[in-house]
Each structure stands twice: as C-alpha cells, then as structure tokens.
Amino acid sequence: MKRILAIAVAAILACTGLMACSGRSDAEASNAGSDGKIEVVATIFPAYDWVMTILGDKAEDTDVTLLLDNGVDLHSYQPTAEDISKIAACDVFIYVGGESDEWVEDVLAQATNKDMVVINMLETLGDAVKDEEIVEGMEHEHEHEDGEDEDADHDHDGDEADEDHDHEHEEEKDEHVWLSLRNAKALCSEFAVALEKVSPENKDAYEANLKAYEDKLDELDAKYAEAVKNGSKDTVLFGDRFPFRYLVDDYNLNYFAAFAGCSAETEASFETVVFLSEKVDELKLPAILKIEGDNDKLANTIKDNTTDKNQAILTLDSLQATSTKDYQAGRTYLSVMEENLEVLKEALK
C-alpha cells in the first residue's frame, strides 16, 4: 500500500512539474503569497487549531489550510495535486511525521519556497514520542510463528520487496501525539517560533496568545489529573482502535483495547471479544469506550458478552475527523478535550 502511495505521489509531482515548465510564471505556479498573506499548511486539525489560536487577531493576515479536512483519516490520506501545490509554495508546513506521512519527503523535495519553515511534530517532541504497542488481548494485524512461516506466506520479488517488508516490520511510532495536553503545550511553543520566523513583526502578539493558551492547557491538564485521582477505577477499555496512549500515560491509567491506534482492522476475533468482556467483568468497569464515528458494533458485542450487560457505551473523540466546518461552528481542540474529560470521568467512576 505504501509503495502504491509513493508511486501516486511521484506521478502527481511529475504532472505538477510539467505544469510549472509549460510556460507558467513562478507567480502563476504558486498559489501562496499572491495576496501578500503568510501561507500556513497543517495536515491535522489540532495543528490547524493551534496555529489559529497563536495567530489570534493576526489570522486575517494569514491563509491557514487544513489538508485533512472533511473527516479525512490521517492513516489513509493521499495528497491531491492541489494539496501538493499548496505545500510546495507555503511559508510554514506542519505535519505529524509518522508512517502515515511517508509521502511528505517527496513533496518537500519539490518545494518552490526554499525558505519554508517545516515542523515535523514527532521530531519536535523527540523522546516524548512512544512506539505503538500491542497490549494483552489486542488484535495483531500480522501474526507469524517464525521466519520460515513468514517466508512461506509472502511472495517477495527481489531486494526491493525485501526492503519494503523489513521496513513494515520495524517498530511504528504512535502518531497520535496531539492527545496529550502536555505534548500540545510543547508543540504550540514550536509553532509560535515558526510563525515569528515568517512574520517577526507580530512576535509580541504571538507570544501573548501562546502564553494565554498555555495557561488554558495547564488548567485542563490539572482537571484531568484531579478527575483520575477522584475516580474509583484506574483502567479504561476500548471496543475499538486505541489512539489515546499519550493521554492515559500522562495520568498513569491502564488500558485494554481491541486494536492498536493505527490499526486498519475493524473485525475482532472471538478470542479478543471474550478477553475484553471478561476484563470488563473482572474489573467491574462501568463503561466500554469507542472513538468517534458511528461504529459501536464491537463495543456492544463486548457488552453483550459480559455478565451484567449494563455498561455504558461512551465515545472519546480523537480529533481525527474534525473539520474546518466544525471549527467555524465553534469546535476547538480545547472544547473537544474538555468533552473528553467528562467522558473519562464517567468511565472511571
């Protein structure tokens, strides 16, 4: 799949390159800065929202683009020719930097703005980034007994295929870094520095907006810590993917889940359903959690296999489907995380 995506990106880059060479001027080839505004492109909603918050009143002098708009999933996103054109000419580009963003390197190599400020969120956080983990009871996407079975199951064609296969078996980084309020604070600080580089005349405004937002993040962080302290449970259980490792680790919570955060699986095995149902009974959990979206089938199946069958099915929002339309309606990173806090209180009571 990743090789197919790389080929698709290369094809788009070739097409946009031909367009640039077919008599179009630099101004025509670029859609950035034509109105004198700073151009910022962010792949995910939390980064978009943080940029808008730091800009504050200066947002009217800046064009901020959210690439993964209209509920597009980070793990399946493929850039369009228009997306690539926006990135190539922008002043600031912000992306997560995990395996889902492997296409970025090729796009940046074709950037027309060589002074672009680029922020890789995983690189910014450094040692705070965690490996994606498989915990007890969680489905494995690729299970092999040993190297011989693995070779028997897969038909590789030459060294290139072997390289791709080896790469896919490396430890993946958990990309969902934005779900830690503490990571959010560190990333916002870096975003402010980037904005100051491209519009230094607004430095004081950016720093004031950053400080005010950091105070709000700290306040909400303290509320999460208090909620966990006051809860009667210290474990959450997901009948779904689990992108919340950064959140639970911040407050020393335990978790069980059907799938890892970046998993593409949606069907759990009988063994996984039984394991999770028994955990609900064993720990007397009041709720089974899922992420945003309409699919609560697995959570309800787990519930139906418990002894009491009376657990609440609750939703924690991982901010992977939030759009600019939601933002315009007043939905923000902080508002979603505040809603998540109330859900967490219910799950831990």
Where is average pLDDT lowest: 121-130, 150-159, 216-225?
150-159
What's the pLDDT score for residue 264? 64
Give dist(CA 64, CA 40) in Å, integer.
5
For residue 49, pLDDT over 70 is answered with yes
Place 72 in a pLDDT band, splitting at 50, 70 and 90.
Answer: confident
Provide CB contacts within 8 A for 44, sequence distance 6+: 66, 68, 74, 95, 96, 178, 319, 320
What's the pLDDT score for residue 267? 83
Domains 2-129+174-215 and 231-348 share a fold: yes
What's the pLDDT score for residue 139? 86
What's the pLDDT score for residue 30? 40
Task: Give 147's Cβ-side CA count (13 Å radius).
Answer: 2
Q: What are phi and psi of 301, to 5 degrees?
A: -65, -40
Give dist(CA 321, CA 43) in Å, integer.
12
For residue 6, pLDDT over 90 is answered with no
Superfamily of domain 231-348 in the CATH hierarchy: Nitrogenase molybdenum iron protein domain (3.40.50.1980)
Provide CB contacts within 8 A for 73, sequence distance 6+: 320, 321
Output the CATH code of domain 2-129+174-215.
Answer: 3.40.50.1980
Place 73 in a pLDDT band, splitting at 50, 70 and 90.
Answer: confident
What's the pLDDT score for residue 70? 80
Give dist(CA 108, CA 348) in Å, integer.
44
Give dist(CA 252, CA 254) in Å, integer.
7
Place 35 in a pLDDT band, splitting at 50, 70 and 90.
Answer: confident
Domain limits of the chain?
2-129+174-215, 231-348
Place 146 in a pLDDT band, splitting at 50, 70 and 90.
Answer: very low
H/E/C letters for each residue in 147-164? HHHHHHHCCCCHHHHHHH
DSSP code string of 295-339: --HHHHHHHHTSSS---EEEEE--SSS--HHHHHTT--HHHHHHH
